[in-house]
Homo-oligomer: A and B are copies of this chain.
Amino acid sequence: MIYSWQELSQQVETSVNSFDFSGKPDELYDPISYTMTLGGKRIRPTLCLLAAQLFGGNLLNANNLAMAVEVFHNFTLVHDDIMDEAPIRRGKPAVHAKWNRDIAILSGDVMFVQAYQLLAKGNPERLSEMLSVFNQTAIEVCEGQQLDMNFETRDDVTAENYIDMIRLKTGVLLACSLQLGALESGASEKDGKLIYEFGEKIGIAFQIQDDFLDCYAKQEDFGKRVGGDIISNKKTFLMLTATEKANEGQANKLNGLMSIKISDEEKVSGVLEIYNELEVPSLTKFAMQNYFDKSLAALNQIEAATDLKQPLIELAEMLMMRKK
């Protein structure tokens, strides 16, 4: 039988919640159990299991790798929340806010090792390849976070720089999760690279969509405040595209809206007006569609049965809000 992404996602949730993250001293391990059971969409481990299924592997074996990527992802959230001074994570206090900075640093470090402990349970014949892709990914995720922080104070960021940053910050870990599942199941090197590309491109498309929705979602469908990125002067794909396309008058108007003291409503509607003048919405949708198409093209090239690809396509469509 072929499992749907919903079934495998449920399986991941059960695995995470039954995993024993406890240890001594409590101060170090309580934040780990807390973080891991805060929920979340479990996209990365689900992708790992879907890739393992695609190549006919044993899902029980792949489960350790699925856990590895989920623990790693949560480690990055614990450290990122310190850096971003974000007090809330998934509606609950972030670790550094509930405990303190030092405990967040150190229990994050332990989670990082736990990810490697889980990874080390992978298929011994492919362990070296798995370590290699995981190490490279972990470094790239850190690079993405550093670039993201650098962008806040840089004024020469291009839309292309931005795409590379979100590729590192989001794309490569989705890609790695899939590749690990594929390697565990004995996929060829070529198919491992194709499934990696599928995840990388879907990650970029998803992040561009996230920027788009921040401006154009209906408030009732959107978890955050619509226009939040505009209000906080965030360098999103839309803002960077607008900056590149703007003529002198439009550029001055944009800079004015971002620096003078006006109401949030005026700022958002002023910026959206310029976005519309410059056709930023359709350019953004085009970029999104372009990465989504590339993602599916990579999946299409993989040598595996079409019905085994279907759950991956459905998860991709769900991420791109084309299906529930």
What residues make up the interface of A, taking CB atoms closer than 8 Å to B?
23-25, 27-28, 79, 82-83, 101-103, 105-106, 109-110, 112-114, 116-117, 120, 124, 127-128, 131-132, 135, 138-139, 142-143, 145-147, 149-150
Contacts and interface: CB of A to CB of B under 8 A. Distances in A.
Contact of A120 (B24, B113, B131, B143): B131
Contact of A142 (B28, B128, B139, B143): B28
A120 B120 CA distance: 11
B131 A106 contact: no
A142 B83 contact: no
B120 A25 contact: no
A27 B138 CA distance: 17
A24 to B, nearest CB: 7
Nearest to A146: B28
Query: Interface SS of chain A: helix, strand, loop or mixed?
Result: helix
Contacts of A127: 127-128, 131
B102 A142 contact: no
A131 B134 CA distance: 14
Contact of A109 (B27, B79, B102): B79
B128 A102 contact: no
Nearest to A85: B102
Would you list the 9 A-B pairs with minimal beta carbon distance, nearest first? A83-B102, A28-B146, A113-B138, A120-B131, A117-B135, A110-B142, A113-B139, A25-B146, A109-B142
Contact of A24 (B79, B106, B109, B143): B143
A132 B139 CA distance: 21
20 contacts: A23-B143, A25-B146, A25-B150, A27-B150, A79-B105, A82-B105, A83-B101, A105-B105, A110-B143, A113-B135, A113-B138, A113-B142, A114-B139, A116-B135, A116-B138, A117-B139, A120-B131, A120-B135, A127-B127, A127-B128
